Structure 1
Amino acid sequence: MKKLIIATLFLFCSQLSEAQIFSGERVLNQQNFDQQRWSWGYFLGLNSYGFDFKYKNYNPSHVTGQDVAIEKRLGFNVGLVGNLKLNNNFDLRLEPGVNFNTRGYQAFRADADTYREISSTYVHIPLLVKFNTNRLNNFRPFVVGGVSTSINLSSNENNPDDNSAGQFRMTTNSYYYEIGFGIDLYLYYFKLSPSIRGVFAINDELVRDESPNSIYTGNIDKMSSRAIFINFTFQ
Structure 2
Amino acid sequence: MQHLLRYKIAFVLSAFLCCPLLGISQLRDGINLPDHDEKEFHFGINLGLNRSHFSFTHHPIFMQRDSVMVVESINSTGLNLAWLVDKRLSEHFNLRTFPLDLTFTEKAFEYNLKYPDRPGGEDSITIKKVQSISLTFPLQLKFSSDRIGNFKVYMMGGGKVEFDMAANAGAKKAENLIKLNRLDYGIEAGLGFHFYYPYFVLTPEVKIGWGLGNLHARDKDLKFSNVIDKINSRTITFSLTVE
- Classify the TM-score, shorter chain: 0.7 to 0.9
User: Match of 1:92, as an amino acid?
Assistant: L
Give 1:87 deviation, angstroms: 0.2
User: Match of 1:37, as an amino acid?
Assistant: E
Give 1:24 deviation, angstroms: 6.2
- What's the TM-score, normalizing by structure 1? 0.83
Distance in 2 (alpha carbons) for counterparts of 1:197 and 1:56: 30
Match of 1:105 among 99, 105, 109: 109
Question: SS of 1:115's equivalent?
Answer: strand
1:128-175 superposed Cα distances (whole Å, 9 cap, x missing partner): 00110000011100111100011101101111222x2x2331000000
Distance in 2 (alpha carbons) for counterparts of 1:158 and 1:168: 11
Change (3 A) 1:227 1:24: closer
Change (3 A) 1:17 1:182: farther
| Map 1:63-212 → 2, pairs under 5 A | 67-95=70-98, 96-112=100-116, 113=122, 114-162=126-174, 164=175, 166-211=176-221
Change (3 A) 1:187 1:61: farther
| Contact 1:38 1:83 (C-alpha < 8 Å) held by counterparts | yes
- What's the TM-score, normalizing by structure 2? 0.81
Write out the 4+ residue segments of structure 1 that deviate beyond 3 Å after TM superposition.
15-20, 23-26, 56-62
Mean alpha-carbon deviation: is it higher for 98-107 or for 173-182?
Answer: 98-107
Task: Provide the aligned length of Structure 1 versus Structure 2.
Answer: 218
Aligned: 1:226 with 2:234: yes
| Map 1:23-34 → 2, pairs under 5 A | 25=28, 27-34=30-37
Give 1:185 deviation, angstroms: 0.7
User: Match of 1:135, as an amino acid?
Assistant: R
| Contact 1:92 1:129 (C-alpha < 8 Å) held by counterparts | yes
Distance in 2 (alpha carbons) for counterparts of 1:159 and 1:109: 24
Distance in 2 (alpha carbons) for counterparts of 1:199 and 1:108: 28
- Aligned-CA RMSD value: 2.8
Question: SS of 2:224's equivalent?
Answer: coil
Unaligned runs of 5+ in 1: none
Question: SS of 2:113's equivalent?
Answer: coil
Partner of 2:4: none
User: Match of 2:90, as an amino acid?
Assistant: N
Distance in 2 (alpha carbons) for counterparts of 1:171 and 1:128: 24
Distance in 2 (alpha carbons) for counterparts of 1:217 and 1:167: 8
| Contact 1:107 1:215 (C-alpha < 8 Å) held by counterparts | no
| Contact 1:129 1:144 (C-alpha < 8 Å) held by counterparts | yes
Give 1:53 deviation, angstroms: 1.1
| Contact 2:54 2:107 (C-alpha < 8 Å) held by counterparts | no
| Contact 1:17 1:139 (C-alpha < 8 Å) held by counterparts | no
Q: Work out the percentage of aligned pairs sharing the same amino acid.
A: 23
| Contact 1:26 1:137 (C-alpha < 8 Å) held by counterparts | no
